[in-house]
Structure 1
């Protein structure tokens, strides 16, 4: 089990705050819109580390069959209460399916995994994707591992490093964006977002 108890405790304590902080209102953001446009209509999508399930709600409203997964009991509760999404409790280690998803939305969730486990998780997620399935990942930019001011564990990557990890997992990067954002801990952190495809 690679879930971090301290990180999960933070999300249990701040689930409602998180839902409020990252609420994009009535429309999906740019990256989610791009992802939904790329995934097969009505496809099955894994929302990995769904949090309050804001993205899951948009995807469900767009007709996708969404499997929402999070390691925080409170996030699962808030997902149902705030967004009407029935999420299941689980960790990255629980993704063991083969070729069942048309898309995987891993938006700033895998950054909480131990860095040495990233290749394993990315390989498992690629295995869970169908051929031509779409993969989205958001990570914070940097080196090594550290804890933030809220005591959450983070694994940081550089842009080229992330592209290499995706390639090693059998995923072809189709789009890359970089930027920065103030998160729940109040720091303005650089990030990288990539969309990729599982080729046959």
Structure 2
């Protein structure tokens, strides 16, 4: 198992390195915009989105980041992105909507484009201790959904860490291609 604190930076750098120079990336659920800022500093054209107006405001304070408020249902386009970074964002989608979101992301990626997803592992769905909605999957469930959406999985890492709610949890990070 890998600890989350150092792993995320390494994964982001691997994601950036997998994209073509000046490539176009979507940071889906960008939060305060730290990953989007790192991508922009690396020379990528970044589209950053988050459902929270507060997070969009924080993300827009970073040089080179233009963030917009959007929800997963707003994912559109065909062969638009060289890469999609969904780092612990799609875990807020309901179980019923998740396959549709994955299919839209697959369609939005250019052929061979890189898709990175981080998710908490578990079962069920519902609010956490501080009221945020989560859906949990097993590794097998997540990978089945990704394969059914057309992704080819090329790497996965299991780890654990303490979330924003202060509670330790197991997680998975998966890299795949359209």
Which TM-score tier does this pair reach, normalised by the shorter chain? Answer: over 0.9
Q: Residue 45 in 1 paired to residue 25 in 2?
A: yes
SS in 2 for 1:36: helix
Q: Residue 86 in 1 paired to residue 66 in 2?
A: yes
Q: Within 5 A, what are the aligned runs for 1:158-177?
A: 158-177=138-157
Equivalent residue, structure 1, for 2:125: 145
Normalised to the residue count of structure 2, the TM-score between the two structures is 0.93
Select the residue among 33, 36, 41 that pairs with 1:61.
41
Structure 1: segments with no counterpart, 5+ residues: 1-21
Equivalent residue, structure 2, for 1:113: 93
* Separation in structure 2 between the aligned mates of residue 167 and residue 148 of structure 1, nearest angstrom: 28
* Separation in structure 2 between the aligned mates of residue 23 and residue 76 of structure 1, nearest angstrom: 23
- 1:181 to partner: Cα distance: 1.1
* Separation in structure 1 between the aligned mates of residue 98 and residue 60 of structure 2, nearest angstrom: 29
* Separation in structure 1 between the aligned mates of residue 141 and residue 133 of structure 2, nearest angstrom: 19
Normalised to the residue count of structure 1, the TM-score between the two structures is 0.83
Equivalent residue, structure 2, for 1:18: none
- 1:161 to partner: Cα distance: 1.1
* Separation in structure 2 between the aligned mates of residue 59 and residue 43 of structure 1, nearest angstrom: 10
* Separation in structure 1 between the aligned mates of residue 75 and residue 5 of structure 2, nearest angstrom: 26
Question: What stretches of structure 1 move > 4 A for 4+ residues in a row?
Answer: none
Structure 2: segments with no counterpart, 5+ residues: none
* Separation in structure 2 between the aligned mates of residue 35 and residue 138 of structure 1, nearest angstrom: 12
Q: How many residues get paired? A: 173
**CA deviation vs aligned residue, 1:26-78 (integer Å, no higher than 9, x gap):** xx701101111111221100000001110000000001000000111010111
* Separation in structure 2 between the aligned mates of residue 146 and residue 71 of structure 1, nearest angstrom: 18
- 1:80 to partner: Cα distance: 1.9
**CA deviation vs aligned residue, 1:85-105 (integer Å, no higher than 9, x gap):** 220111001111111000000
- Output the aligned Cα RMSD: 1.5
- 1:146 to partner: Cα distance: 2.1
Higher strand share: 2
- 1:111 to partner: Cα distance: 0.1
